[in-house]
Amino acid sequence: MPEVTMPRLSDTMQEGTIARWLKKPGDRVERGDVLAEIETDKATMELQAYESGVLEKILVQEGESAPIGQVIALIGSGAGVADQGGASAAHPAPQTTTASSVTGGGAAGSGGSGLGTPQEASPRPRATAPVEVPRPAAPVGQENGDRVIKASPLARRLAEEHNIDLRQIRGSGPGGRIVRDDIEAFLESRRAAAVTAPAEAGVGAAPAPPVAAPAATAEVGAAPAEELVPLSRMQATIARRLTESKQTIPHFYVSTEIDMTEALALRRQLNESVGEGGVKVSINDLIIKACALALEKFPEVNSSYRDGQFVRHQAINVGIAVDIPHGLVVPVIRDANLKGVRTIAREARALIEKAHAGKLTPADLSGGTFSISNMGMLDVSEFIAVINPPEAAIMAVASVRRTFVPIDDQPVLRDMMHVTVSADHRILYGATVARFLQEVKRLLQNPFSLLG
């Protein structure tokens, strides 16, 4: 009988969560039909059927996670659909862990099984367990029983759609009103709580145990002096990768100040000439282009360190760090050196919109060879970024500031911007990075060279 396994959907994915099953047991499935939506650490993706048949059994329920390769459903002739409960013995017991699932666990009676413990041979309780765990009445009721819950109509509607009890949520709006953001944050944490701690020992595994099911669902409203906020999958991935970066890559830093007066003037001209509906070019787009051209000249910077070797990348793919609610993603502009600034502007804008919509695909996020983190709009004088592995360098861009600069011994007002490159000292050395930075500076200070 064909098994549907958890697919590998991105480079960094280790396990996936079933966001939604689009077919139910007994449904006829054609090859290519979308079976489920799977949430990875970066995006929600569709899972297509590779075989036609009847979806006989779902082994991993909505909200639950499974590592890559684990069987999550079975497609067959249809004979096995009838006996939902008992049939599981016929299949090799899947490795699904149950302890921290929102819907399973304590109330259904199977709680307490250790993380990674193989499923007991008995029928899976989850198949028949009610969707919502009966919540321990005492703490919630006493805490919130008399309270009038303020929630926006939109928040109420979303809560109803997602089957959320508003008493679980603390509102961040005026007067404690629950608004859309609060519902979304709650959904995010609920998903995170459903995540089984990965079998690997690692940074990501640490926060999981205390977040077992009842804590996440029932006690959010009754927070004591401190509050445990579980990391979302994305946050866990970021934590793991950035710790890895700082622990394994010897970072060093080179800074300079770039006079952006001319670049700002050029941008103004470009944007004045853009027609109705045209894409405006941002400072960041010019910086992307400048870095891409400088990387052309200094291929060492456009490299990776891998197993004691220097990997030089042919393509120049510039990642742009984008801050999204509760996380950070770095979508990539491919072949940025070969693209005009307007093309870069259009692509960057599209990627940022996708990032906010949570619709970035693994393709959008992979293949970067150099990154830029721009906090210019957040009024920072300077900052340092952590390298996004396996890249060799990242450039941190601070705000443009009007400053008096001595020119011919006279103070002249110029628009100055502080940048810092963090580089991997295993393959890069100070002078190389300094020269690379000089080139970036030269390009931005003579911005017409970006239009070639």
Partner 1 sequence: MAEMTYRQALHDTLREELQRDENVFLIGEEIGRFEGSYKITAGLLQEFGPKRVVDTPICENGFVGLAIGAAMLGLRPIVEIMTINFIALAMDEIVNHAAKIYYMFGGQCPVPLVIRTPGGGGQQLSATHSQNLEVWFAHVPGLKVVAPSTPADARGLLRTAVRDDNPVLFLENLALYNTRGEVPEGDYTIPIGKAQVMKEGHDLTIISYSRMAVVALDVARRLEQERQLSIEVVDVRSLRPLDHETVVNSVKKTNRAIIFEEDWRSYGVGAELAATLQEEAFDYLDAPIQRVAGAEVPLPYSKPLEQAALPSARQLVEAVDRLAIRKRRVVYA
Instruction: State the catalytic residues.
Output: 425
Residue 171 binding partner 1, by CB under 8 A: no
Q: Is 268 a binder of partner 1 (CB under 8 A)?
A: no
Q: Which stretch binds partner 1 (CB under 8 A): 17-25, 68-76, 170-178, 205-213?
A: 170-178
Residue 154 makes contact with partner 1 by CB under 8 A = yes
Residues 273-292 that bind partner 1 (CB under 8 A): 282-284, 287
Q: Applying CB under 8 A, does 368 fall inside the site for partner 1? A: no
Contact between 265 and partner 1 per CB under 8 A: no
Per CB under 8 A, does 168 bind partner 1?
Answer: no
- Of residues 240 and 267, the one with the C-beta less far from partner 1: 267
Please choose, out of 244-252, 268-276, 317-325, 440-448, the segment that lies near partner 1 by the rule CB under 8 A. 317-325
**Nearest distance, CB of residue 382 and partner 1, angstroms:** 14
Nearer to partner 1, 58 or 178 (CB): 178
Please tell me the count of residues contacting partner 1 according to CB under 8 A: 35
376 contributes a contact to partner 1 by CB under 8 A: yes
In angstroms, the CA 82 to CA 25 distance is 9
Do residues 310 and 427 touch, judged by C-beta distance below 8 A? yes
If residue 424 lies in a helix (H) or strand (E), which one and from where to where?
A: strand 410-424
- The tokens for 192 are 């995170």
- Residue 363 to residue 313: CA distance in whole angstroms: 17
Q: Is 173 in the site for partner 1 (CB under 8 A)?
A: yes
CA distances, 406 to each of 256, 382, 410, 428, 447 (Å)? 16, 21, 5, 33, 21
Asked if residue 153 binds partner 1 (CB under 8 A), the reply is: yes
Q: Measured from the CB atom, is 154 or 451 closer to partner 1? A: 154
Q: What are phi and psi of 55, to 5 degrees?
A: -70, 105
Window of 45-53, 69-77, 223-231, 373-381 that interacts with partner 1 by CB under 8 A? 373-381
Helix axes 283-297, 261-272, angle to 10 degrees: 120
Distance CA 94, CA 71 (A): 7
Contact between 179 and partner 1 per CB under 8 A: yes
Q: How far, in Å, CA of 236 to CA of 169, rounded?
A: 22
Chosen residue from 320, 419, 427, 433 binding partner 1 by CB under 8 A: 320
**Residue 29 is encoded by which pair of tokens?**
């499935």
What are the strands of the beta sheet with 3-5, ordered from one edge? Answer: 3-5, 71-76, 53-58, 28-29
In sequence order, the 6+-apart residues with CB closer than 8 A to the CB of 160 are: none
Should residue 352 be labelled a site residue for partner 1 when binding is judged by CB under 8 A? yes
E strand segments, 27-90: 28-29, 34-39, 44-48, 53-58, 65-67, 71-76
Residue 7 sits in the site that holds partner 1 (CB under 8 A):
no
Binding flags for partner 1, 378-417, as an x/- string (CB under 8 A): x------------------x--x-----------------
Q: Does the footprint of partner 1 cover residue 2 (CB under 8 A)? A: no
By C-beta, is 108 or 396 nearer to partner 1?
A: 396
Contact residue for partner 1 among 79, 82, 89, 377 (CB under 8 A): 377
**Closest CB to partner 1 among residues 212, 281:** 281
Position 371 contacts partner 1 (CB under 8 A): no
Residues 6+ away with beta carbon under 8 Å from 436: 294, 295, 297, 298, 301, 393, 421
**Coil vs helix vs strand at 292:** helix
Amino acid in the structure at residue 179: V
Q: Which residues bind to partner 1, rule: CB under 8 A?
A: 152-157, 172-174, 177, 179-181, 282-284, 287, 320-325, 328, 348, 352, 356, 373-378, 397, 400
